[in-house]
Every structure is written in C-alpha cells, then in structure tokens.
Amino acid sequence: VKKRGGGGCATVDLVVVGSVGLDTVETFESRWAERLGGSVSYACAAARLFARPGMVGVVGTDFSVSHRNLYRRLGIDTAGLQVAEGRTFRWSGVYEPDMINRRTLSTELNVFADFRPDLPVSYTEAPFVLLGNIAPALQLHVLRQMRHARFVSADTMDLWIRTAGADLKKVISRVDMLAVNDSEARLLTGEHNLNEAGRRILRMGPRYVAIKKGEHGALLMGEGGTAVVPAFPVDRVRDPTGAGDAFAGACMGFLAARGTATPSVVREAMLLGSVVASFAVETISLDGLSRLTRRQVEVRRRALMAMTPH
C-alpha cells in the first residue's frame, strides 16, 4: 500500500487525464452555477464504481475543499491533481430544449491554459489509461510517460480534429480504443456512414472504436466485429453534461477491474458505460454519479437487457 500527499492510499489501476472545471449550465427549466464538472471528474466518478482511478488534471487555488473531499469520498486518487496559482477552469453553456444540442456561452481556461500533465511516478505503471478530451499534444505527453500501459482509450472533440489533426492522428495510431461521438467520427473521416467512418478510424491504428450516439446508444467496432450498444431510455434528462465522459469512465473502470480487454469484455464494458451514463444525465453535475451504487447499475443493466431482443 502506497501513500502520497495528494490523497491516494492504494495503487491506481486506471489513470484518467482530462479537465476539472466549474460548470454553469442553463436548460429550458433551470440554471445552476459553478457546479463541479470537467471530463476527468465525470470519468473518475463513473470509473470508481469498478476500479481505483487516479485523476490527472489541474485546479486553481480557488478549488474548494468540499470538491476535493467528494473525490476522496468516492475513492478517487488525487495524487495526479495539480494545484496551480490562479482560478480553476470554468465553462458555461446553454442546452436547447431537446437537451442534446448546446451552445457554449463562455470558456475561461484559467489554470488549464498552462496545464502540463506530468504524472506522479506511481501512476506511470498503471495498466489502464483513459485520455480524456484535452489537446492531442498533451495526450501524447501522457502516453510517453505510460510505458507499461496495457490498454489506452482516448476521447477527442471537433476542435482538435479541426486544429490539431497531425497530433491527433499520432494519438489515434498509438491507442487501443478511440471513443468519439457520431458527428466527430464523421468530421474525422469525411464519411457520413458510421460503419464506413468506423472502419476508416480502425485503419488509423486502434483495436476498437466506440461511436457514441447519445440517447441512441453507441456502436462498437473492431476486434470481435460490430456491437450495437443500446441506451437506457431515461424518463427525464436534467443535465447531459459529462455523459460521454461517464460512459468512457465506467467502460475503462470495468476493463481495469477485469484486467483484460477481450472483445466480449469490451462489449460488457460498453453496456455498463451506457447504463452509468443514463444515471449521469438524470441529475445535474456529479450528483447522480456520486450517489450511484454497483447494485443500482446492475438493476438497470438487467432492465436494459430485458428491453433488448434476446
């Protein structure tokens, strides 16, 4: 058992890198300000259901103790969470009534602008890595430190596809799985048909590509063939923010717990990612993910299985 100042106490089996932010979100029915968010928060809050995630990110000196305590309470290792002089990253956006499309109102990078993901030495031996949505150059920087990674998954976004294509292609060629949403898959490949887009991404190097389709579930392609991952039909979406990160986090957490990424295990992981994401969107910020138990996940997984042809 290792001990470190940052709050860690057991070896992490999954390293997650991404943003920590304070989100101000408006929907057609309510608004909330400066609630804890960021891709690494959502992904770790989901991954901790299955594994011991270590968080790599940066916050400012204004980051509240209660947020840090939440991470600790959830069993998230924060040895990789840097504190920099200045304000924490902030994002603000408004969702259209469809609760899918959103418009960014403001992005304050703050300490995130100079973020350089240098990992605690202990993290560099972790077997599973989730490269959340940050600049591809930073994802490469993390990859260079992870000499023993057995399975790496990467997220990205339209901004990097448009502005950092060369670095992004390097990332894609070096990871085991790329997780993108349908519009990103299309933008990245110039191909509208998702089967064909998926095949083109696989030709860039990864063993698997997960194409996320929001409320419509996901498509998994690669080793073992294609899998259709259904989404649990939720009654009321309150805050879709972080759903994709929760999906990826749960998926990678499950793989880390199983210690392997065979096609059948990856399929199982995707289904759990889909189920965990359905809880994430039912409440605002991390509220749903923080309260969620493995038992609740299992109940809903079975319900979803019962809804699909069998």
Binding site for a copy of itself (CB under 8 A): 97-99, 192-196, 213, 215-217, 219, 225-231, 233-237, 267-268, 271, 304-310
Minimum distance from residue 234 beta carbon to a copy of itself (Å): 7
Strand extents, DSSP E, 164-260: 177-181, 208-212, 218-222, 227-229
Structure tokens at 164: 């950092």
Minimum distance from residue 254 beta carbon to a copy of itself (Å): 13
How crowded is the C-beta side of 89, counted as CA atoms within 13 Å? 23
233/259 with CB nearer a copy of itself: 233
Structure tokens at 266: 């990856």
69/262 with CB nearer a copy of itself: 262
148/310 with CB nearer a copy of itself: 310
Q: Is 139 helix (H, G, I), strand (E, B) or coil?
A: helix
Minimum distance from residue 222 beta carbon to a copy of itself (Å): 13
The two beta strands, 218-222 and 177-181, are: unpaired
d(CA 257, CA 48): 10
85/235 with CB nearer a copy of itself: 235
Minimum distance from residue 227 beta carbon to a copy of itself (Å): 5
d(CA 192, CA 131): 25
173/226 with CB nearer a copy of itself: 226
List all residues 6 or more positions away from 248 whose beta carbon is below 8 Å from its beta carbon. 43, 46, 130, 132, 153, 155, 179, 210, 273
226/260 with CB nearer a copy of itself: 226
The dihedrals phi and psi of 57, each to the nearest 5 degrees, come to -170, -170
121/299 with CB nearer a copy of itself: 299
Minimum distance from residue 263 beta carbon to a copy of itself (Å): 12
> In the chain, what are the helix, strand and coil shares in percent, each to the nearest 5?
40, 25, 35
How crowded is the C-beta side of 110, counted as CA atoms within 13 Å? 23
Indicate left, alpha or beta for 285 from its phi (over 0: left) and psi (-120 to 50: alpha): left
79/275 with CB nearer a copy of itself: 275
Minimum distance from residue 124 beta carbon to a copy of itself (Å): 35
Minimum distance from residue 269 beta carbon to a copy of itself (Å): 11
Closest CA to 22 of 93, 80, 83: 93
Minimum distance from residue 198 beta carbon to a copy of itself (Å): 9
How many of the other CB atoms lie within 10 Å of CB of 151? 21
